[in-house]
Amino acid sequence: MTKYISSLLVMMLYISTVNVTAQKQITLEDIWTNYTFSPKRVPGFNFLNDGRHYTRKEGNVIKKYDLTTGNFVENILDGANLGTDFNIGSYSFNSDESKIIIMNNRESIYRRSYKANYFVYDRKTEQLSEIFEGDKISYGTLSPDDKHIAFVYNNNLYAKDLATNIITAITTDGAYNKIINGAADWVYEEEFAFAKAFFWSPDSKRIAFIRFDETDVKEFTMQMYNDEMYPENIVFKYPKVGEDNAKVSAHIYDINKAKIIDVNLTDLGQPKKIPMVKPTMEYIPRLKWTKDPAVLCVYKMNRHQNELDLLLTDANTGASKLMLQEKSKYFIDIHDNLTFLENGKEFIWTSEKDGYNHIYLYGMDGKEKRALTKGNYDVTSFYGVDEKKQKIYYQAADQTPMEKRVFEIGYKGKKPRLLDKKSGTSNATFSSTFDYYILSNSSINTPATYNVYTRSGELVRALEDNKTLAERQKEYGTVQAKFFDFTTSENVKLNGWMMQPRDMQKGKKYPVLVTQYSGPNSQQVTDSWKGSNYWWYQHLTQQGFIVVCVDPRGTGARGEEFRKQTYLELGKLETMDMIETAKWLGTQANVDADNIGIFGWSYGGYMSSLAILKGNDVFQAAIAVAPVTSWKWYDTIYTERYMRTLAENESGYRDNSPIYFADRLEGDYLLIHGGGDDNVHFQHAAEMTRALIKANKQFDQYYYTNRNHGIYGDNARIHLYTKMTNFLKESLQTNSNRNNDPIRP
């Protein structure tokens, strides 16, 4: 009894020393059901040609506004005038704004692909006409002269003459899971980031398109469950590592001649001093017309993705010649930063050839004229070119990888002009004439603000300051995320941020959650707003967790060598850095080194799996959402870019795939996956489950029926985050509280 009373007195004294501050509790329901903490965003600007006005759809009406004042000008189109049930889903203008292309009843296919009903509204005659009656089509696109509209239907490319309403089938061999004309296959859509694969020439006389022959690509089947007697089998072509890709070819359709010209990408007939394009070049990741309507630029890339050729193709004959060639000892990332200038003699291009991503001016002969940006920093976004003023606009991490700023620079590439002087991360959206721009700025502790500026940098007006959300941060007593860095045992400096519970008690040890993504060229440690997860992290700090994020080797904005050093060994260095992170955290005064967990989604789930298996002495719990568990089950383009094929790099695959280390599991592991994930297939979770059971390891598993890679819809998010939060409390906090219990013998 005396011992019990003594312990009770100690506990009372312990509680009396705690500095308790009133703090409104952040709930998961507030985050994922009530959306109490959603920031206000500025909807996209559909700029008009004058550069001062923009349109926006409100309800079923397209309205026109003045950017400089925010004042409403006029209604461009009221959907109520187009029919009782007509809905303006989304819209775009033609080149002279005399017509509006309207799309409604959009039906998503994969991440970027879709089909919908398309209409053209003539503003002068006030007439509305449907492009294709009877079924949905994809990617309806007007020709620059407004006389034709091209689209894809049932894997074939079509063009409709708007004067005669005659529809011409440009191709006729399209077939599901065999041939695709004018639209990308699954792997191009996902990894080369485009779905529409046809493009009008500047003079409207031709359409360039890519043809995909998927015949030899193996199929993947997903089962979807919809309260039917039998589940629905979704079967699609998905090329996995080392397997056959679709055979791609480029073609040009001549509208007037009704003729298809095949693009010759191998027999270039160039002078011997110019490197020939190898027939083994496998990918066509981009097509882009030059300013000459008879010359098409074709990107051609080898399967290893370390050689890229930009070819100039004669649209009349299909003959091609090499314009520019890039090579890398690692790999080359495809981008859309190629801009042909109106003078027809030059183009702008971004490249990592000097070790950092920079902007260059080239002649059409492929010879570099000058570097427009230079230095030990990366250009992180390319916004565009104002040819009248000969100015280029871009974003760069010029001071630190954590911050991004917006710049203007001239064609001569002299000193750039900073367009924002705020700390944190800024992004810009420019009007069509570049006379105005909308600057968004946020920090890790401050939601985004949006302001309009003139070209010269003069503030025109504020669009949104998110003061309500900032006040809500005070109301709920959010803690500040603080940046830190540390040096690993391999002398690598890593950047991170940390959120700690308010009023931390001296001498008390707190459980830690390490959150990360860690994928190639990604960044999580940035001075920018973290969206809904910011509030989940704040919720966890209120529950007594320390939340930490670290960007390992292989992540972005630190130059090519830092970014690409994980080549052929995805997961190896990143896992080592996560283990070093846990070890470093274990030396910090308030960290409970016995209760450190790690969380990640997709590549982050892959990393959290590797971390708890290879770092079983430092990580006590891990959450893996939609993880890759062996690279041999992922797609060709992404995986081979970083790892080459399994046949070429067996040890790289074996040594860095979680399924081969299941027997090392010691802590608590929560594996989560969506059954309808067309990206990282449920196969990854199923195989991981098999490996863990074979190793006789206990673990937790949640799967989400029919959900894709994002796991959302019908309460999926609140369900998911409730499970993850409870798992962390049970796996880490319970043990940590026991470690801190003053009554414990």
- Confidence grade of residue 268 (pLDDT, cut at 50, 70, 90): low
What confidence score (pLDDT) does residue 280 get? 61
Residue-wise pLDDT for 601-648, tens only, equals 999 999 999 999 999 999 999 999 999 999 999 999 999 999 999 999
What confidence score (pLDDT) does residue 23 get? 75
Residue 740 has pLDDT above 90, yes or no: no
Helices 532-542, 716-728: crossing angle, 10 deg rounding: 30
Residue 322 has pLDDT above 50, yes or no: yes
Residue 165 has pLDDT above 70, yes or no: yes
Residue 24 has pLDDT above 50, yes or no: yes
Task: Specify which residues 236 forms β-bridges with.
Answer: 220
- Alpha carbon 305 to chain centroid distance? 20
Tell me the Ramachandran region of residue 407: left when phi exceeds 0, alpha when psi lies from -120 to 50, beta otherwise: beta
- Confidence grade of residue 741 (pLDDT, cut at 50, 70, 90): low
Q: From CA 232, how far away is CA 706, in angstroms rounded?
A: 10
Model pTM score:
0.93
Residue 712 has pLDDT above 90, yes or no: yes
Residue-wise pLDDT for 542-598, tens only, equals 999 999 999 999 999 999 999 999 999 999 999 999 999 999 999 999 999 999 999
Residue 2 has pLDDT above 70, yes or no: no
Residue 479 has pLDDT above 70, yes or no: yes
What confidence score (pLDDT) does residue 7 get? 41
What confidence score (pLDDT) does residue 274 get? 42
Residue-wise pLDDT for 422-457, tens only, equals 999 999 999 999 999 999 999 999 999 999 999 999
Q: Tell me if 441 sits within 8 A of 448, measured CB to CB.
A: yes
Question: Cα separations (Å) of 304 from 24, 332, 636, 639?
Answer: 53, 9, 10, 10
Run of H or E residues at 180: strand 179-181
Of the candidate ranges 48-57, 227-236, 273-282, 699-708, the one whose mean pLDDT is the lowest: 273-282
What confidence score (pLDDT) does residue 739 get? 72
Residue-wise pLDDT for 33-58, tens only, equals 999 999 998 887 899 999 999 999 99
What confidence score (pLDDT) does residue 11 get? 40
Q: From the CB of residue 53, how many other CB atoms can be counted at a distance below 10 Å?
A: 19
Structure tokens at 195: 């779905």
Q: From CA 505, how far away is CA 610, in angstroms rounded?
A: 33
Helices 603-614, 572-586: crossing angle, 10 deg rounding: 60
The beta strands (E) that lie in 552-634 are given as 591-601, 621-625
- Alpha carbon 522 to chain centroid distance? 9
In sequence order, what are the residues at sequence separation of 6 or more whose Cβ sits closer than 8 angstroms to the Cβ of residue 544? 501, 510, 511, 733, 736
Residue 650 burial (CB < 10 Å; 0-12/13-18/19+)? exposed
Q: Tell me if 515 sits within 8 A of 549, measured CB to CB.
A: yes
Residue-wise pLDDT for 85-101, tens only, equals 899 999 999 999 999 99
What confidence score (pLDDT) does residue 281 get? 80
More confident residue, 503 or 84: 503
End-to-end CA distance of the chain: 14
What confidence score (pLDDT) does residue 736 get? 72
Report the SS3 class of residue 739.
Answer: helix
Domains of the chain: 480-740 (3.40.50.1820)
Strands 700-704 and 668-674: what pairing? Answer: parallel
Residue 22 has pLDDT above 80, yes or no: no
Rounded mean pLDDT of 232-245?
97
Which 8-state DSSP code applies to residue 556?
S
Residue whose pair of structure tokens reads 């004294």 in the numeric block: 13
CA angle 596, 597, 600 (to 5 degrees): 150
Residue 13 has pLDDT above 50, yes or no: no
Report the SS3 class of residue 250.
Answer: strand
What confidence score (pLDDT) does residue 43 get? 80
What confidence score (pLDDT) does residue 277 get? 43
Q: From CA 517, how far away is CA 549, in angstroms rounded?
A: 9
Rounded mean pLDDT of 129-148?
95
Rounded mean pLDDT of 229-257?
97
Mean of the per-residue pLDDT values of the chain: 93
